Amino acid sequence: MNFWNNFKSALKGKNKICDPLLIYIILGIFKFIILYQIYSELTREGFAPYNNNYNNYNNNNIRIHKYELLTAITFMIYLYIIFGLFIQLLCKNNMKGAAWFIILYPFICKLVWTMII
């Protein structure tokens, strides 16, 4: 029950999470769910690293070692946390517009790129 009280205070309390950071967290959760589904599908098809057969270059599939994959995922999570802290810092310093711009910039670029092509 303490978790839910802390969660409610993070959304409504004095030290609440700013809106751009909340959107960033929600998008990140969806991203990790989608990446997990893609990885599990590739594992079933035989393209993702699911065994320790690292030196098997007889076939055309390039396999990644599990530890390299875990290192990449850990690095991605650390970058995600650091970027989230940066967004929270922007919000705390009354730069909410800049935080929104940073969150929405990839979507705006994709929209403009799609309109150009």
As given in the structure block, the two tokens for residue 110 are 């994709």
* The pLDDT of residue 19: 86
Higher pLDDT, 17 or 82: 82
Confidence of residue 100 (pLDDT cuts 50, 70, 90): very high
Longest Cα pair distance anywhere in the chain, in angstroms? 60
CA distances from 71 to 3, 43, 66, 108 (A): 29, 18, 9, 31
Length in residues, the chain: 117
pLDDT for 14-47, tens place per residue? 667 888 888 888 888 888 888 777 777 766 666 6
Global pTM exceeds 0.85: no
pLDDT at 107 over 70: yes
Buried b (16+ CB within 10 A) or exposed e, 22-34: eebeeebeeeeee
Nearest CA among 9, 26, 32 for reference residue 103: 26
